[in-house]
Structure 1
């Protein structure tokens, strides 16, 4: 038979550089840094502060028996008490946007100033509350940045806690402070050998350590009367009293302060700030020295502090967005799973009902078009499986050799199959090869297949039965992974059954099938002509033509009994190339048909449904899905590990249920699902990166070239002997 030579018209492709891995690396590094900053500022690294005393052998007696204000460094150690009938109200753990203003309201009402030992992380988050402290004449002190147990930290980390707090205080209030109070500290007589080096090293840095004489224990919310009792000093002695303006519900604190201040004033007490009380103590001791807690910060400190504030608030904002996305992704996943199971189950029940039929048996002859470019490994098996099909109307196979350089056409000709034709043409791409085959096909029912795909004997016959319905313009077949031995191939097998075939049941039910797979798809010639044929406008010509058919009003269905076996990529690199092309091509197709969402009639109805579901579940959900893993990792390291593990296992359980449903509907063995949990740790992340890089490529306006996968050849699957066709076989098997 003479071989026609076709010279197709070729479209120019604009070459673009591939997006770089460094972009993805930078994105992951930024997200990792943001989560680290947020975890740090939320005190997620705080060691357990419940500890027993290590003894006081190393602590000077003058400190243990002295006052709550300690000036200690490597050269000298001194401690001070407030004069009699003098009280310094000190507050820890703020500022808080709710309770700090309430505390200030009470203090202002009684014309009293307080000393607020602030957390740097809280100052960063609530700068207005911190600013109001200094503006109101109150003083601030350092309470570290993240509220850790300082005795458990190395010296560099302690200095970081102090320095970062000073910087954000400088940025927000414009002042620096020499006062410091350590988290979980109490009275001077509680300082032990573990605490003493912390106190002395802080003194070397110029800090005055402020402890307390009385602890209101308002954090326990014991009641207003008990808080007042705890805070009241003995007799007429002076006292540094400890309160809290943050860390939870402080309504009892506010109410207790409102009673405590006038009560102490009635007893002859005066209220001072910590530095005012210290200066009074200096004067009483005849020390010619004065401490000021409101020293103006330098411009450099303020700028560095602003950068730190921006980092903390930015990390909070990003984590907040991630939290919203986490809920959104969870809701989308649960919703998609529920809709998928319900509608696909309905689809399967309808197909298996006794009265189901597409119509009269379709016995018209069929033309099978096989575009082939360097398919020497699998072309012989593929062509034999097609030529030996049992369709009663007969099968014509047209192999379009698209400029192969490996002898693909010669291999097909050597088979000498009477119903197989070979067409040679210069390389022009898969759409060009398909259009060439369609133009030369003798019949009106067309099956388009890939050159590496093996059909079962009854696949063509079953695939064309839906054309008994004159409204059907295209039929999607059931693609199976033929090489399932490797782990990565097993993962793809699961993905094909769940992510492709189960989805097609859903899409048919909703009348918005987005893709008739290139591996096995049936078409009416009339429908293809009406839609304008295949083009190379996108890298997903199968999605492009399917959407065009749906817009033209043709019904597109899924025939699960028409099975084709394909060779899945066996390496990460090959899989990446394939999925990169698929995802990017799908985005191109969606973008190409975007304007038709405004169309009236069948075109608009189909496009709105199709673009909504594909964009939501095929692009947006996979694009946002990494949030689940990201938050899971964050939770395991920095949040409640048990709750995080339970949530992750719940998601895995939902996927497992979906997989079981899909495998049952597809009559696949469940044994392979043992690799599903492993899929969550590698394969899924790879698909995330594919989607992300595809989106980046799309946003740059680029266009990828076709990427040929390396094939090793697929062995024909074990298939039971097929009975001679009969009219009954025209209906899908139950």
Structure 2
């Protein structure tokens, strides 16, 4: 009887946790939209235009780097420099950057002789930069011409340490890519809006984030041994009481994985990076001053536990189908619960896509594709977390986190 009660408890946890978080995200994102996004907003007029140093770390990005740099050069912001950080590329990336540098005075290149990883490259870029604001983007990103205006406008507050932008998927030819279009709108965007309302953002978007240089140095720069630089630097800044903001008008067009293997590697890296941050910053529980980070920390730990329980119950269910164990039937989404969760997910997707219609008129059309998210991505994300958590917990820290070029999908232009 005791075993049965535990199974029932775990079954309810698998159901109620995503249900509760979906409701929180819908409420938070709706409030953020009504309070800060609704209505037409003009590009902010700035009293001054501080120099922005755009840092672009790159390794083996010969297919993407030229168009990325050219997109930044079309920015309407009048005062910026571009520093491309070539992390010992083995293709023609360095040659392409040097060609651009020879013809464009706003572009500089730092050639690293050894593959040291993205965090180390960003450290070099921060030291070489001349601007008071550092805008970090990925080597496959197309920056919107007005993105810098929107991001710089937040730094009029003295305690603003970073501003994260709004990544938009630009390759939409495959089912995986189309689902991710909806994911960035209905999941990632809604979470960032909610966390901003609650006061603490789990992570900036590594593909587009602006930092106050003073804050970056105050936090000790990027840690070179972390798999994901964006989550860790966010926590380092917030532990130093710098404010992190989300600016949905700061658009950046990105490529997402379009193969299962590429998506798997991306989600394993995200999961491992998140667990590494949980491991490194567990000292926040020792200080009452860090209490505003406790809910963010706890929610992430609960999501890790959910992944393990979800996979465990799935295994028990499969075993019950093939071999009688004597355990009761495991129903992850039984009877009315499955219908309720499906309805809440659909409502969340509808709200997220409706909010993002302000930035893409055609985005509600992706509702048909994003409804497949719970079936495919919940399982993939859970498996990635179960696989990555032990790697993060038992990984020997201190060694530089080097990188390989991710799956960029089908390379397309806007």
Q: What range describes the TM-score normalised by the shorter chain of this pair?
A: 0.7 to 0.9
Aligned to 2:391: 697
Structure 1 residue 696 displacement after superposition: 3.0
Shift of 1:600: 3.6
Structure 1: give runs of 5+ residues left out of the alignment. Answer: 1-124, 126-315, 718-734
Question: 1:647 is matched with which residue: 319, 327, 337?
Answer: 337
In the alignment, which residue of structure 2 is the partner of 1:540?
Answer: 228
Q: Paired residue for 2:108, among 421, 426, 435?
A: 421
2:68 to 364, 382, 390: 382
Matched, 1:470 2:155: no
What is the CA RMSD across the aligned residues, in angstroms?
2.9
How many Å apart are 1:395 and its aligned residue? 1.7
1:473 partner SS: strand
Alpha-carbon distance change, 677 to 609 in structure 1, aligned in 2, over 3 angstroms: closer
> Match for residue 659 of structure 1?
349
Q: Name the SS for the 2:205 alignment partner.
A: coil
Partner Cα separation in structure 2 for residue 661 and residue 636 of structure 1:
37
* More helix as a share of residues: 2
Change (3 A) 1:591 1:368: same
For 2:365 and 2:319, how far apart are their aligned partners in 1?
32
What does residue range 718-729 of structure 1 map to in structure 2 within 5 Å?
A: none
Q: Which residue of 1 aligns with 2:253?
A: 565
Q: Which has the larger radius of gyration?
A: 1
Q: By how many angstroms is 1:517 displaced?
A: 1.4
Instruction: Within 5 Å, give how 1:210-225 maps onto structure 2.
Output: none
Distance 1:518 1:346, change over 3 A: same
The reply to whether residue 678 of structure 1 matches residue 372 of structure 2 is yes
Over 3 Å counting, the alpha-carbon distance change for 1:341 and 1:678 in structure 2 is closer
| TM-score after normalising by structure 2 | 0.87
Shift of 1:361: 4.9
Taking the aligned partners of 2:405 and 2:23, their CA distance within structure 1 comes to: 37
- How many angstroms apart in 2 are the aligned matches of 1:431 and 1:466? 24
| Aligned-partner Cα distance in 1 for 2:320–2:186 | 28
Match of 1:611 among 297, 310, 314: 297
Query: Size of the alignment, in residue pairs?
Result: 397
Distance 2:403 2:206 in 1: 15
Higher RCO structure (Cα 8 Å, ≥6 apart): 2
Q: Is 1:524 aligned to residue 209 of structure 2? A: no
2:11·2:330 contact (CA, 8 Å) conserved in 1?
A: no
User: Normalising by the residue count of structure 1, what TM-score does the alignment of the two structures yield?
Assistant: 0.51
Superposed CA offset, 1:370-416 (max 9, x none): 01111111101111111211113x12110011111111121123232
The 8 Å contact of residues 362 and 465 in structure 1, kept in 2 or not, is answered as no
Aligned pairs (5 A) from 1:172-571? 317=3, 320-352=5-37, 361=47, 363-392=49-78, 394-415=79-100, 416-426=103-113, 427-571=115-259
Note closer, same or farther for the CA distance 1:630–1:680 as it changes in structure 2 (3 Å cut).
farther
Contact 2:195–2:201, Cα closer than 8 Å, also in 1: yes
Q: Deviations over 1:130-168 (max 9, x none)?
A: xxxxxxxxxxxxxxxxxxxxxxxxxxxxxxxxxxxxxxx
**1:409 & 1:555 partners in 2: Cα distance?**
36
Equivalent residue number for residue 597 of structure 1: 285
Please give the secondary structure, in 1, of the residue aligned with 2:200: coil
User: Which sections of structure 2, spanning at least 5 residues, go unmatched?
Assistant: 323-327
Task: Say which SS state the counterpart of residue 438 (structure 1) adopts.
Answer: helix
